[in-house]
Structure 1
């Protein structure tokens, strides 16, 4: 399915979960996306990628004393590209008048192994419970 989407879309996002994809299928989908000039973003195991992204929630905005509405969150993001050192940044994503605003702290190489400087206002990441 993802290979067919490459013919009509510039960005294809595939969620694999914990499933493995046969190497022959990976090669076919990757080749078709490259031929079409599409970007293939995969959530899951996919060999021989150009960029690997990983994000972890570092904090939430809008919660006071464990109550309130989540208005934004901080993500510690790491990007690893072939032949380059990994890079990390803390990104804040927040709702703003019906659209999403992204801001980022200073980027730093992973080799320093120091956490990014947090934005001035975030709350620590409390346990987030989902109402059902």
Structure 2
């Protein structure tokens, strides 16, 4: 999942102009850059054979120089990148709510939140052997 998100961003924002980091990097990063993070929202059974679940993708954008117009352009560009369906290998995941906010001490760091929803087939294949015959013994007593 994370690899697919980072690859999608890298297509639009290619290195060396932009770098993409994980949340484990606390210092030594080079701006402009993106930090990506995935937060699991859990899953719940819908039926005997299907569950629904989701996660939130957080993309935080650090600029070299603060520029609100550039931030708003990034919001539109990233929204277009994800579209309505997010592809991860052979799976198609529904892009839900897309929001952005500003974080940091001065509320000047762009953070985009993308809700991704999915349905999962939970039906399990039977692994026990199938009975081929039935023996019945009737007694009186």
Considering the TM-score relative to the shorter chain, is it more than 0.5?
no
TM-score when normalising by structure 2: 0.31
Give me the TM-score of the superposition, normalised by structure 1. 0.33
Larger gyration radius, structure 1 or structure 2: 2
